[in-house]
Chains A and B, each alone.
Chain A
Amino acid sequence: DAGVIQSPRHEVTEMGQEVTLRCKPISGHDYLFWYRQTMMRGLELLIYFNNNVPIDDSGMPEDRFSAKMPNASFSTLKIQPSEPRDSAVYFCASSSRDRVYEQYFGPGTRLTVT
C-alpha cells in the first residue's frame, strides 16, 4: 500500500513568492496533519483535519499560512508571501479513525526561502 505522498520533495523559492505544498494521505485515513520541523523549534503541529474539515489550526504561525482539504485524498498548505524564516521541512501525516493516535508521516517537503 502506498504511504503518505508529498510533493514537491524540495522547493527553493525567493522571498515574497507563493509556495504550495501538497499531500495525499493514506487511502481510508480520516485524519490529516501538517507539521513543520526546524532546528530551533523541532516538530510543531500546524493544523489538522478530520473528514476534510479543519479541526485545530492554532499552530498556524500567521495569516500568510493557509491549508485546505478539498477532498479525502488531497490537501494543500500554502504560504503567501513566503519569508526566509519559513524555511523548514514540512511533513504531512495521516491516521485512521480507529487508530487516530498512530500517525503515519510522508517523506516531507524541504522548503528553502531565499
Chain B
Amino acid sequence: AQKVTQAQTEISVVEKEDVTLDCVYETRDTTYYLFWYKQPPSGELVFLIRRNSFDEQNEISGRYSWNFQKSTSSFNFTITASQVVDSAVYFCALSEAQGAGSYQLTFGKGTKLSVIP
C-alpha cells in the first residue's frame, strides 16, 4: 500500500524567509512518481512538479526547489524568499507505476503555508 505523510499541518513565515515543506512516502514499488501540487485560496489544484523514482537529481525552478532522497523516502519542497502569493495549501502525492491500469495519485493531507507580509 502507498502512503504519503506531510507532518506539517500549518506553517507561518514572514515574507522573504525561506521555508521547507516536508514529504515522506511509503511504497513497495521500485518504480513510482512523486508530485507536488499547490492549492491557493481560490481552490483549484495546480501541478508544480513530477519526479520519477529513477531520477534523484534535485530540481530548481525559480524560487522553488525540490530535494528527492530515496534513502529517507523523502521529497521535500523549499521556497526561497517566500512571497505572500505563495500562501496556499501544498500537497505531496505519489503514484505507483503498477502497469497500464493504475495511475492513481495518493495525496498527503497537505501543508497550509501562510506568508505574512
Contact = CB atoms under 8 A, between A and B. Distances in A.
A3 to B, nearest CB: 8
Contacts of B91: 43
B107 interface: yes
Nearest to A41: B109
B110 A42 contact: yes
B50 A48 contact: no
- Give the residue among B33, B37, B47, B109 with the most A Cβ atoms within 10 A: B47
Interface in B27-64: 33, 35, 37, 42-47, 50
Interface SS majority for chain B: loop
A42 B109 contact: yes
A35 B77 CA distance: 24
Contact of B108 (A31, A42, A103, A104): A42
Report, as a range, how many residues of chain A touch the other chain. Answer: 20 to 34
Interface in A68-114: 89, 91, 93, 95, 100-108, 110
A55 interface: yes
B101 A56 contact: yes
A105 B101 contact: no
Contacts of B35: 101-102
A101 B43 contact: no
B105 A45 contact: yes
B76 to A, nearest CB: 19
Interface string A20-49: 000000000001010000000011010010
B104 A102 contact: no
A56 B109 contact: no
A32 to B, nearest CB: 11
A87 to B, nearest CB: 15
B47 A104 contact: yes
Contact of A107 (B44, B101, B105): B44
Nearest to A107: B44
B109 A101 contact: no
6 contacts: A45-B106, A91-B45, A102-B35, A102-B50, A105-B44, A107-B43
Given A33-B105, A105-B37, A106-B44, 19 more contacts: A42-B107, A42-B108, A42-B110, A43-B91, A43-B105, A43-B107, A45-B106, A48-B104, A91-B45, A93-B45, A100-B103, A101-B33, A101-B95, A103-B105, A105-B45, A105-B47, A107-B44, A108-B45, A110-B43
